[in-house]
């Protein structure tokens, strides 16, 4: 039995918005693999919950009329990994979320929950950052979409306003077309562990596969929230592909990341990982794009 | 203090349509054990890490300890008890756990077997590495996993006619 003060069940998005307005203190529970654990720990004990888990209109992956990939916020990790649209256009996201927890957790955990809890280690988040995803929220005043970088405010805090729920994550066509990506999660165990530090890279090569036309680099657990490595991206964009360039980007990321010492790993180790992981991701992404180093 | 909230939950458990009033604070583990006496569903870590409470819901494995009982509405749920044959026979996967000495204290076994049931029913052939990953949400503190892996692998190969 969980220490839940009261539980309100939403049957539709509109229902969820109304419940949010009526019970501003209540927490949203999607799959519950964070909320229920924190409730058991005592951290969230005695809180009111709004369950959105049964809202089926928030599940599934589609291509919308503009060609954007639309991922319903309640889509489970395992469904993302096995989805043909994801496999075709953004396979790295399916691979990234396949590293979360274990199989049972990937069946219950949702991409909406993974991003709404605002943690830096979320395996979906760094890849969504690296693909310039948009977050869609529905609230009493309708729908609003913002870049994921603006969605994260600080550790544990996202830009979810009064009465709103996150309803989808979108990746516009121009953000995925022609791109390839790679994700490396460094953790102590192969399963049931969270990242010590993780890196996700997406790149677009020139037609002759020699120039890095675009490069987007994102990290998890390299700062209080997931982050983009803007300085390193500038150092790589438009440059000819070479081992030298990869080395330069690997060194430059130290200007972008701001990891800390924690019981999981030291700051120095995380900086070392930042350098190593980005190089590994770049090499793999270049190979996937048909380039050679 | 809140007044206790109850909800009528209708679902299909091990092939039988059922309904019961559940406390909205209950987990699916609580409901299956207390309302339906399905005690193969073990309470282990109760935070979704050990897999001892694994059940199959609409064809996918879940940790029932972090699944609210109210979410069972309309679902098809299978527990280890569903494997029992008409005359009390064991399923092939259960027999394989015995044959391979994949059971020591036995607490993790029902969860492991339900995870195995789901992967065996895909009809696919997995290599050892894939099996390890598919079973990685279940923990065993006795066996060291090798015998469990062997039991699952042999059952898979037998069902595929390759052993």
Q: Both A150 and A219 in a single domain?
A: no
Mean pLDDT of chain A: 97
Q: Both A194 and A280 in a single domain?
A: yes
The pair phi, psi for residue A264, each rounded to 5°, is -75, -40
Domains: count for chain A: 3
Q: Does residue A165 fall inside a structural domain?
A: yes
Q: Both A165 and A213 in a single domain?
A: no
* Residue numbers in A near B51 (CB within 8 A): 102, 104
The share of chain A scoring above pLDDT 70, in percent, equals 100
Distance CA A250, CA A100 (A): 26
Provide CB contacts within 8 A for A104, sequence distance 6+: B48, B51, B54, B61, B62, B63, B115, B137
Rounded to 5 degrees, what angle do the CA atoms A195, B48, A42 make? 90
Q: CA of A213 to nearest chain B CA: how many angstroms apart?
A: 36
Distance CA B73, CA A201 (A): 41
Helix (H, G, I), strand (E, B) or coil at B78: strand
The residue count for chain A: 293
Alpha helices in A64-122 (DSSP H): 77-81, 84-89, 91-97, 103-108, 111-116
Structure-block tokens of residue B121: 């029913």
The share of chain B scoring above pLDDT 90, in percent, equals 98
The pair phi, psi for residue A137, each rounded to 5°, is -120, 145
Examine the fold and report which residue of A113, A142, A174 is the final residue of a domain before the chain moves on: A174
Q: Both A40 and A61 in a single domain?
A: no
Q: CA of B37 to nearest chain A CA: how many angstroms apart?
A: 16
- Mark yes or no for CB contact B61/A37 under 8 Å: no
Question: Would you list which residues of chain B are within 8 Å, Cβ to Cβ, of chain A?
Answer: 2, 5, 23-27, 30, 46-49, 51, 54, 60-63, 66-68, 70-71, 73, 115, 133-134, 136-138
Rounded to 5 degrees, what angle do the CA atoms A162, A164, A165 make? 145
Structure-block tokens of residue A273: 């990982």
* Residue numbers in A near B136 (CB within 8 A): 102-103, 190-192
Q: CA of B160 to nearest chain A CA: how many angstroms apart?
A: 23
Note the pLDDT of residue B116.
98
How does B50-87 read in b/e, with b if 16+ C-beta sit within 10 Å? Answer: bbbbbbbbeebbbbbbbbbbbbbeebebbbbbbbeeee
Note the pLDDT of residue A217.
98
Q: Does residue A154 fall inside a structural domain?
A: yes
**Alpha carbon of A244 to those of A20, A103, A217, A262: distances in Å?**
53, 39, 17, 32
Q: CA of A242 to nearest chain B CA: how many angstroms apart?
A: 34
- Mark yes or no for CB contact A101/B137 under 8 Å: yes
Q: Does residue A274 fall inside a structural domain?
A: yes
Q: Both A192 and A270 in a single domain?
A: yes
**pLDDT tens-digit series, residues A220-264:** 999 999 999 999 999 999 999 999 999 999 999 999 999 999 999
Which residues 107-166 of A have a C-beta within 8 angstroms of B? 107-108
Q: Both A197 and A95 in a single domain?
A: no
Q: Which of A104, A107, A189 has the highest number of chain B CBs within 10 A, making it the mutation to test binding with B?
A: A104
C-alpha closest to that of A115 among A173, A69, A168: A168
B6-17: average pLDDT = 98
Examine the fold and report which residue of A152, A174, A196 is the final residue of a domain before the chain moves on: A174
C-alpha closest to that of A288 among A174, A181, A185, A207: A181
Contact (CB, 8 A) for A131 and A216: yes
Note the pLDDT of residue B1.
47
- Mark yes or no for CB contact B68/A36 under 8 Å: yes
Contact (CB, 8 A) for B60 and B107: no
Q: Which residue of A has its CA nearest to B119?
A: A103
- Mark yes or no for CB contact B136/A104 under 8 Å: no
Contact (CB, 8 A) for A142 and A184: no
Provide DSSP, A164-200: -EEEEEEE-HHHHTT-EEEEEEE-SSSSS---SEEEE
Domain with residue A278: its CATH number is 3.30.390.50
Q: Is the pLDDT of residue A161 over 70?
A: yes
Q: Does residue A35 fall inside a structural domain?
A: yes
* Residue numbers in A near B63 (CB within 8 A): 104-105, 108
- Mark yes or no for CB contact A40/B25 under 8 Å: no
- Mark yes or no for CB contact B27/A3 under 8 Å: no
Residue identified by tokens 């604070």 is B25
Q: Does residue A225 fall inside a structural domain?
A: yes
Q: Is the pLDDT of residue A137 over 60?
A: yes
Q: Which residue of A has its CA nearest to B74?
A: A54
Structure-block tokens of residue A179: 């791109």
B95-107: average pLDDT = 98
Provide CB contacts within 8 A for A265, sequence distance 6+: A196, A197, A273
* Residue numbers in A near B6 (CB within 8 A): none
Q: Both A60 and A46 in a single domain?
A: no
Q: Both A14 and A64 in a single domain?
A: no
Examine the fold and report which residue of A51, A72, A89 is the final residue of a domain before the chain moves on: A51
Q: Both A147 and A231 in a single domain?
A: no
- The Cβ of residue A275 has, within 10 Å, a number of other Cβ atoms equal to 18
- Mark yes or no for CB contact A102/B46 under 8 Å: no
Partner residues linked to A166 by β-bridges: A137
How far does CA A22 lie from the centroid of its chain? 30
- The Cβ of residue B122 has, within 10 Å, a number of other Cβ atoms equal to 11
Q: Does residue A25 fall inside a structural domain?
A: yes
Domain with residue A18: its CATH number is 3.30.43
Q: Both A207 and A156 in a single domain?
A: no
**pLDDT tens-digit series, residues B116-157:** 999 999 999 999 999 999 999 999 999 999 999 999 999 999
Q: Does residue A236 fall inside a structural domain?
A: yes
Q: Both A95 and A119 in a single domain?
A: yes
- How many Cα atoms are found within 13 Å in the side-chain-facing hemisphere of A214? 15
Note the pLDDT of residue A293.
87
Q: Does residue A293 fall inside a structural domain?
A: no
Which domain covers residue A189, as residue numbers? 179-288
Mean pLDDT of chain B: 97
Structure-block tokens of residue B110: 């029902």
Residue identified by tokens 């219950």 is A108
Q: How big is the A-B interface in CB pairs under 8 Å?
A: 85
A173 burial type by CB count under 10 A (0-12 exposed, 13-18 middle, 19+ buried): middle
- Mark yes or no for CB contact A104/B47 under 8 Å: no
Q: Both A167 and A129 in a single domain?
A: yes
Angle between helices A243-256 and A267-288 (to 10 degrees): 140
Q: CA of A255 to nearest chain B CA: how many angstroms apart?
A: 36
Q: Is the pLDDT of residue A94 over 60?
A: yes
> By the CB < 8 Å criterion, does A32 face chain B?
yes
Query: Hey, what domains does chain B have and what are their CATH numbers?
Result: 6-80 (3.10.20.30), 92-159 (1.10.150.120)
**pLDDT tens-digit series, residues B37-60:** 999 999 999 999 999 999 999 999
Note the pLDDT of residue B2.
55
Note the pLDDT of residue B4.
78
The pair phi, psi for residue A142, each rounded to 5°, is 105, -155
Distance CA A15, CA A11 (A): 6
Note the pLDDT of residue A103.
98
């Amino acid at each position: 039995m969980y220490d839940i003060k009261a539980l309100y069940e939403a049957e539709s998005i509109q229902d969820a918005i109304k419940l949010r307005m009526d019970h501003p203190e209540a927490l949203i529970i999607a799959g519950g693999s964070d909320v229920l654990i924190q409730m058991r720990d005592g951290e969230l004990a005695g809180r009111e919950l709004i369950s959105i888990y049964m809202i089926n209109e928030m599940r599934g992956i589609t291509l919308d009329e503009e060609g954007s990939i639309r991922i319903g916020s309640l889509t489970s990790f395992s469904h993302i990994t096995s989805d043909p649209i994801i496999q075709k256009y953004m396979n790295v996201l399916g691979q990234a979320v396949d590293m979360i927890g274990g199989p049972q957790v990937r069946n219950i955990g949702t991409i909406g929950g993974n991003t709404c809890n605002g943690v830096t280690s979320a395996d979906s988040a760094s890849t969504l950052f690296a693909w310039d995803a948009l977050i869609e929220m529905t609230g009493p005043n309708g729908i609003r979409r913002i870049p994921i970088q603006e969605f994260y405010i600080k550790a544990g805090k996202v830009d979810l306003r009064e009465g709103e729920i996150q309803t989808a994550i979108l990746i516009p066509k121009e953000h995925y077309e022609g791109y390839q990506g790679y994700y490396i999660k460094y953790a102590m165990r192969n399963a049931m562990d969270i990242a010590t530090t993780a890196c996700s890279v997406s790149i677009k090569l020139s037609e002759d596969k020699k120039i890095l036309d675009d490069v987007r680099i994102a990290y998890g657990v390299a700062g209080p929230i997931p982050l983009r490595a803007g300085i390193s991206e500038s150092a790589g964009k438009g440059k000819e592909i070479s081992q030298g360039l990869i080395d330069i980007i690997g060194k430059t990321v130290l200007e972008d990341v701001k990891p800390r010492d924690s019981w999981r790993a030291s700051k120095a180790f995380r900086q070392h990982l930042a350098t190593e992981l980005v190089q590994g991701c770049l090499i793999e992404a270049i190979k996937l794009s048909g380039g050679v180093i | 203090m809140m007044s206790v909230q109850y909800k009528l939950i209708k679902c299909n458990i091990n092939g039988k349509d059922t309904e019961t009033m559940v406390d909205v604070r209950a987990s699916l583990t609580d409901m299956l054990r207390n309302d339906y006496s399905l005690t193969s569903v073990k309470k282990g870590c109760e935070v979704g890490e050990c897999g001892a409470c694994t059940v199959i819901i609409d064809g996918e494995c879940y940790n029932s300890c972090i699944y609210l009982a109210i979410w069972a509405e309309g679902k098809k749920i299978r527990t280890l008890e569903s494997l029992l044959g008409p005359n009390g026979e064991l399923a092939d996967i259960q027999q394989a756990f015995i044959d391979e000495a994949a059971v020591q204290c036995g607490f993790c076994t029902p969860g492991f077997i339900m995870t195995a049931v789901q992967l065996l029913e895909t009809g696919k052939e997995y290599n050892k590495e894939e099996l390890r990953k598919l079973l990685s949400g279940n923990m065993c503190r006795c066996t060291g996993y090798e015998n469990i892996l062997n039991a699952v692998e042999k059952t898979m190969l037998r069902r595929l006619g390759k052993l």
